[in-house]
Amino acid sequence: MASTDIRDPRKVFIPDPRPETVRRADDHFIRGMVCTSCGHASAVKVPWCPRCQAATTEKLYGPTGKVWSSTVVRIPIPNRRPPYSLAYVDLDDGPRVLAHVSAPDGRLAVGQTVRLMEATASGDIQVTAS
């Protein structure tokens, strides 16, 4: 007889934690949430604010942001071929997100303006220099 125990990890659905990228005209945005009380921005869908527990409403963030930090990854990990670049980006009026970098040399300077692109084939957020 099959188990219906929800503590069985094979039976628990875990949603993709990555933010959703949406396209509007020629720009890409992150579909997130904003708190209706304190204004806290979130890059993922949450039913209530993680700061004050008030209600949230949907908001689009982007299409640009500024690099907070970046790095080039040179070690192999599953499903990624090194080297590849990552950056933390502070979206305009929004949250900070981790994104893959699409640039000729993969390097971005702190404070540099970047633009959101279509998500990668595997669903990762992607940015390029503006």
**What CATH number corresponds to the domain at position 119?**
2.40.50.840
> pTM of this prediction?
0.83
Residue 11 lies in a domain: no
Measured between alpha carbons, how far is 76 from 60 in angstroms, rounded to an integer?
33
Number of domains within the chain: 1
Residue 109 lies in a domain: yes
Residue 93 lies in a domain: yes
CB 65 within 8 A of CB 94: yes
Q: Domain range spanning residue 66?
A: 17-129
Per-residue pLDDT of the chain (130 residues; tens, 9 = 90+): 455 555 666 666 666 778 999 999 999 999 999 999 999 999 988 889 999 999 999 999 999 999 999 999 999 988 888 899 999 999 998 999 999 999 877 789 999 999 999 998 888 999 999 8
Residue 3 lies in a domain: no
